[in-house]
Structure formats: C-alpha cells, structure tokens
Structure 1
C-alpha cells in the first residue's frame, strides 16, 4: 500500500473520526463528526442509525476534501460494539432506534432466560447480560417484526455497500455466536427467538468486504478491506502480545490475546484474518462517563474535574458508578450507583478524586480477575489524565505504558486494511514504592452497590 492512502473510519459512541494514513503508517489528515446520544428513560441509551451514517459521511468528506480520489486505495472501519440496529428489509431504512451498548432495556429478556445462563456462557463465551446485542435485538424485533438486524458495523456495511454482513469479532459480541466455531449458534438463536433470516452473514475481519456504492460521494467505489470492533482495533494497533490492553473511553475495555481465564471475564474473537484469534476481555460500563457525570453535577468541565482530582485526596470517599449495573468482573445488571464515605468535610475535590479513582479501581478489578498483568498498554481519551495513569500503575503495581499516538482504534483498522505497521511510542508510568493503597475499602463500596441477587 506504499503507493496510496488508507482511509480509516472509527465510528465510536459519541463521534465518528476519520484518519488518512500514508503507506508509511503516518496520519496525514484527520476529521471528526459528533453523534447525538439520547437517554429517553432511566437505563435507556439510544442513537439514530441515520445520524450514525451521516456522521461517517460528514467526517469522511472533511477528511478527503481536496484529496484526489485515486490517491485513496482502501477503507478500514472500526466501530462501537454490541449496539443493536434494526432496519426495513424492503427499503433499507432504519426501523427503530439504535440501542446503545449501555442500554438496559433488554434486562427483562435476560431475566426470563436466567435458567439458561450457563448454556449461554458456554456457547457464546459471554455472561447473560443486557449489554450484549441479543437481548436488545429481541426487544427491537418484538416491535419491528420481519426486519433486518445487526450491529453498527453490519448497518454501515449494509448502508455503504448493500451487503448484509457482520465482521466475526463484532459477531462474537452479540451473544448469538458460538465462539468456538465462529458461526451463529442455532441454540442461542432459538433461545433469544432471533430468526437466522434477519441476521447478517459472518465475514472475516479483512479481505474483500464490499465496495462503497456510487451514491456516497468521495467514498464511492472504494473497497472496504478491514472491519474491527473498536476495542479489537486498538489491540491490533498496539501490535503486542505482552501485557493487557486497556482502552479508557466512555466505558473501558480490558483485553488480552488468549482464551478467557475464568467466569469473571469474557471469551471473545479479537479478529479473524482469516483464522480467529481469541481474546479474554472484561468490560466496564462507566469510566470516562463517570468523570463527565461528576463534571455535570458540579457544573464544570471534565478538565476541571481532572485538575481538582490531581491536587486532592478522596479522603475515604468511594464512587461506584453502577449507573446501568456493573459489568466485569461482577456482572450484576441490577447493581446501583453509590457514593460512600461522605463526611461534612467532603467537597468537590474529594468527589472529583473519587471519580478518577473509580476508573482505576474498576480496571484493577478486571486485570486481577484475569490473573494479573506484566504491564498495561493504555489508549483512549482518558489516558491524557496523568493522575489516572499514575493511580493505575500504583494500584496494580505494574508499569502503565500510554500510547502517545491518539486514535488507536482508527489506526488499527488502517493497519489491517492496508497492511501497515504504525510505529507507536509510549509514555511510561512506573508504580511508586509504597504508593499502593489497600483496595479493601473499594471492595466494601462495591459490595454495597451490588444487588441482593448473587452477582453473575
């Protein structure tokens, strides 16, 4: 690919980012477009499929403005995962809201199937939880029968190329895939009542994944040669099998190559190119969004919250951000958010520090459930917070290596699409001798947040 550019499209929860990457792996241009998120009821998190597509087209048009069409050879796509999309099989138009990965309206669907949780875990590699797509797809099909369904990657592939396909790694996050065979599981389709005719066909993460239709302006005629889930793409960009990758975003993904090491974390397909590479992963529902919530509560900005946290102690305050339940390693979708340790002396700086510490504690919970790590490979927007990175190193007692390059999900998609090898450099945060604090108070706070039901 040395003779042309790769266009990387990273469709995330809050925005779509596009990078134009040279054959040497260097980012030469970038652009982004926001995507609205709506919260119509408690526990409901939704987007609009048309607005997601519009954001892709807007970001791509800005990134490619003035670039000769022949200069771009291929497109790589990374997307948010688990979000559920439904569209009309006749018109191809969205037929309902996109239920975001944080959306909880599939909880009743899961509760009705709780006796089958062990089978679901064995086949899919995932705990029975409304975070994954299956329960959300069932909820959508109850209201839009005889529609086509998929995840964000399959919606974009359908809209851009006309082909109803889903990439193997994204398919492994639906809870409908037999993670051992890489095929839709008849038993899981039957359990959730999802007709096979509504689902996309499963394709590898790289290869001929379709050509953009002529009606899409600067993207028209470009071949899509790689698709990855955003967390999977970040892992691919790191290009290392050492340590544990942590993407610090709205939520957090903690992932390492190799099979799952226990019931607290998931077994997933990182990518299939063409053979599947399995990975162990733990998902955290609220990390960066916790800091954003505290900022809104205090009537300030996330930057100010980070500044307050840098110069403060939490003074025993613990914030457990179970806004939509707790995911790994607890898997308790009925957990409730708590703030404990409050005193009359608690002020904004203590709350800010507790919010930042909650991110590091949750990541530490997952890493410990995975059996520990030799190091943490960190990426994502929240890694710009030096205090968070240092707290993380101290809590785990291992180095945290922060990628200096931004947008690793997009870079991972570009690398796979174009056979590139981006050269990453890192800042390193070493654990400070004697700085590690006891985590028992955090664990006590989590126990208060858990529901009366046994965590799953």
Structure 2
C-alpha cells in the first residue's frame, strides 16, 4: 500500500462498483471490485437495489486496503448515468428500487409525449431525444406508482438522484444532495444552455422541483466524507477511517472517460469499447445540434463555463464477440480472436453487421437486424471472426464520420479505452479504417481515472491538465507499460480505405428495414 498521497476514485457501473487508488503520477496503484444483482421484474424492466449499490461500493473500497489507509487527499465519483433513485430525506430509505437506464417501462409515456409535439423543444433545451433511456419519465413513474410518493415529493420530503447523488448522500451521511452538470444533463430536465433545471421541462414531465439536487461543475468541493471508523472495524475488522476527506469530483461515466483520456480541447475524441461503443467528441464552447442521431451533451468542466460534446453510441461491439463465443460457439474466448483474425490477410469479402438490437448512430434503425454477408463456399470460420472484429471498427468509424461532418472539426487522433482495446488487431484495423492514429493509454480504466483527475485537480494534487498530460506521456514510454500503451498508425492507403468503407456501407444497407 502506497504511503504517498493518493486519490480514491469510485467507478459505479451497471453491474458492479470499481474502486481505484491513483497516485500523484497518475498511476493506478490499487483496485477493488464488487458486483451486485440485476433485477428483471417484468420483460423490458431493469432494476437495482440502492442499498446493494451502496454495499458493493463499500466492499470495493475495502478491497483496496490492508489494515491501514494510505494518505487519501480527495475522493472522486463516476457512475452509470440516467439510472433513477428516489429516497426519503428523513429516513434515507429508497421508496422504490433504482430504475436502471436500460429499463423500457416508460416507452409508452415517451410516445404519448412525442404525439403532443414537445420533442423539438426538449431536444433544443437538453440536446437529447425523447426516450425512456433518460431519467425524467422514470422519476414520474415512481411518483405515480408508489403510494403517497407524489404528495411527499411536492412537500419536499423526497430526494431524487442519479447514482452519483445517491452515493454522495450516503458518503456524507445524508448531509449533501448535489450532482454535477454531466449527470444532470442526462435527465431530460436540465437546460444545457442555461445550466439550470428548466421549469418548462419539469412541467412537461410532471416532476416537482423540490426533489431535485443542486447542480455544480464536475470539479467542485461537493462535500466531506463521513465514513465512521466503527463501521469498518465491525464489518471488515480494519482500522479504516475516511472521515473528513473532500469529495472533489463527480461526472457521468462517459464524460469521466473523456476527461480521463484528457480530451479537454475541441476536436479531441474518445471511444470506449465495451459491450457497445460510446464515442464522445469535445466541441468546446460550441453547442452543436445535429440531425444525424448524435446527442448534444455537457462534458466535464473545471468551472461554471460549459464545455459541450457530441455523443454517439454503437449498440453492439464486444457483445458481437460474446455472440461468437456463446451464440454460434465458434470461439472459446475473446482473447483468441486477435490471433485468428491476424492469421488471414483479409475477411474474403465477408461482412458481419451485428444489428442484433437495431442500428444506432448515425443510422438509427430500430428494426434493422444482423446478418453475415458475402459468404461463399470458400468462406471460413476465421473470416467470420475477422469480419466480426472489423464490424466494431466500421461502426465506430461511421459515428466519427458523422461527428466530423456535424462539428466541422479536424480529428487527427482517436483515444481509446475499455476492455476490447487490448485486441491489437482491432485497434490496428480501427486506425486503418479511420485513417488517423489510434492511441491506447497505459491505463485503459479511463472512467475511474477521469473521476480521480477531477478530484485531484480540485484538491490541488495536480495543478492543471498539462501536468496530467505530461504524466500520461511518461507512462506511454515507460518500459513496464509497453504491452499496454501504444499508438496505432494507419497502414493502408486512401484508395483501399475507401473501397472497404464502400463495401461496408453496402452491407449495412442490406440489413436496414427501409
């Protein structure tokens, strides 16, 4: 356990909580993780138990430590966005399970609101589409379906929060009810032009203002932790006390990853490769609205000056590799795909379009379905595997292309993170098909690092972004990080790139519903 100053970062995700200790050089020196249960009470419904989220967070933190705690100077939080919790301010007890971002129970309500003609105003004010994905209709559903909840909310007896706000409330023993710009911006209730809760939106969604948290920039002194020593002694048998540590940074997971990749200037873009892909482009002070299915949102800011971003999602990325393993069972594990794909010169004209749940940006075709195209008698298992990896890069390139067109910004590098980035074949093909460098950092847990960086800058561990960038550069050239940090440069020419992209677009057209 390090004796030097560290930042504690909590990365609360959809299936579990990760806790990281980050030292002054930006290195992850300890990691803890704890999963929790997913609940599916009805088809299309997804819930979490708020107390299980909190317990998993405490257990992840405990896994970091031995008998003593290092010199933690600040704490940062990043979280699954949109997931909705409401609790009693007096007792601190949730009135209903957390409704997860994936939950579709309020889809009909969104359709009804769209028929009322409010979608345009909502998008102008929030940068978002009217969808059950976001928090507003989830809040209203809880208030309308839990006996007495609406009356309590109107009297100011209940508190709403996304997961960051819930953890902040618990960490401060109920003393603080706050969130940051990036999380508020995913509720459909926050005006990203005025940086405030919007009365018109609250009226549209029938949400009382009294339940909403205060909103601040992502780098901010949100409160002070109140981890009681007795809890740790009784529960884990450890002499641990986090009382008095400032909670100095909060951001939604994708914005935290953007900051963790130090994409702090306009034109800088990151892609997180997980089950799907989440791409985010920093557009600086300019709020860009598009008609290509990209979302306009707020990125992390160090002060009250807004920083805007464009966000696009690929529905199926790593999930396509899981399908190769669990669905058609042609691989044993994800790791072997790199060697298999690299063992052949190309995919032999085979294209996999993994539209298992439709296509996301820039196509937005919910009725599209997946296909393997270009098969001949000579097609092989290796070609299907290679084409599946290539599909992840192609889909990401489609989103980057839409971002470039919308923002009119020059992009010369893609910064990447997430589990799938360990696949060198995928990263090289991504560079080839984009025609730009792809930079994989020494530490690919960019989401947690983003929370740590925000807290560390606020607390004075780091002076500015330039200092963090210097540490990042040092990590990339460090001998013990060679296997992880790497820049992939394009190895094919423009003509070959255009030919491949043209063939991909033809394949996509084949699976679209219209």
TM over 0.5: yes
3-state SS of 1:207 partner: strand
Q: Could you tell me how far apart the structure 2 residues matched to 1:354 and 1:46 are?
A: 35
Match of 1:269 among 273, 279, 298: 298
**Equivalent in 254, 270, 293 of residue 231 of structure 1:** 254
* Structure-2 change in CA distance of 1:392 and 1:63 (3 Å): same
SS of residue matched to 1:279: strand
Query: Residues of 2 paired with 1:101 and 1:445: CA distance?
Result: 31
What is residue 135 of structure 1 aligned with on the other side?
137
Q: CA deviation at 1:227?
A: 0.6
State how 1:142-153 maps to structure 2 within 5 Å: 142-144=144-146, 145-146=149-150, 148-153=159-164
CA apart distance, 1:214: 3.8
TM-score, length-normalised on structure 1?
Answer: 0.88
Name the counterpart of 1:106: 106
For 2:380 and 2:105, how far apart are their aligned partners in 1?
Answer: 35
Q: Point out the more displaced range, 244-253 or 44-53.
A: 44-53
Residues in 2 aligned to 1:50 and 1:322: alpha-carbon distance in whole angstroms: 33
Distance 1:137 1:347 in 2: 50
1:337 aligns to what? 369
Distance 1:237 1:268, change over 3 A: same
Q: Partners in 1 of 2:182 and 2:144 — Cα distance?
A: 26
Q: 1:135 to 1:305 in 2, by over 3 A?
A: farther
State whether residues 43 and 103 of structure 1, in contact with CA within 8 Å, keep that contact through their aligned partners in structure 2.
yes
Question: What secondary structure, in the 3-state scheme, does the structure 1 residue paired with 2:222 have?
Answer: coil
- Contact 1:328–1:366 (8 Å) recurs in 2: yes
Root-mean-square deviation (CA), in Å?
Answer: 2.7
2:19 aligned with 1:24: no
Aligned residues: 448
| Structure 2 CA distance for partners of 1:181 and 1:220, relative to 1, 3 Å | same
Query: Partner of 2:201: helix, strand, or coil?
Result: helix
Q: Which shows bigger deviation, 405-414 or 43-52?
A: 43-52
CA drift of 1:182 comes to: 0.9
- Residue segments in structure 1 that go unaligned for 5+ positions in a row: none
Q: Is the 8 A contact 2:349 2:375 kept in 1?
A: no
Contact persistence 1:246–1:377 (CA under 8 A): yes
Taking the aligned partners of 1:296 and 1:314, their CA distance within structure 2 comes to 24
One of 276, 280, 293 as aligned partner of 1:251: 276
* Aligned-residue offset at 1:42: 5.0
Q: Would the aligned equivalents of 1:261 and 1:370 in 2 still touch at CA under 8 Å?
A: no
Closer/same/farther in 2, CA of residues 310 and 142 from structure 1, 3 Å limit: farther
1:443 aligns with 2:444: no
Q: TM-score, normalised by structure 2?
A: 0.79
Structure with higher Rg: it is: 2
Distance 1:430 1:214, change over 3 A: closer
Deviates more, 1:2-11 or 1:306-315: 306-315
Residue 417 (str. 1) matches residue 445 (str. 2)? no
Residue in 1 that maps onto 2:399? 366
1:352 aligned onto 2:414: no
1:247-326 mapped onto 2 (5 Å cutoff): 247-258=272-283, 259-260=287-288, 262-264=290-292, 265-275=294-304, 276-299=306-329, 300-311=332-343, 313=347, 315-323=349-357, 325-326=358-359
Deviates more, 1:299-308 or 1:359-368: 299-308
Aligned counterparts of 2:9 and 2:255: Cα–Cα separation in 1: 14
Relative distance call for 1:112 and 1:5 in structure 2 (3 A) is same
How much does 1:309 deviate? 4.0
Cα contact 1:261–1:371 (8 A) shared by 2: no
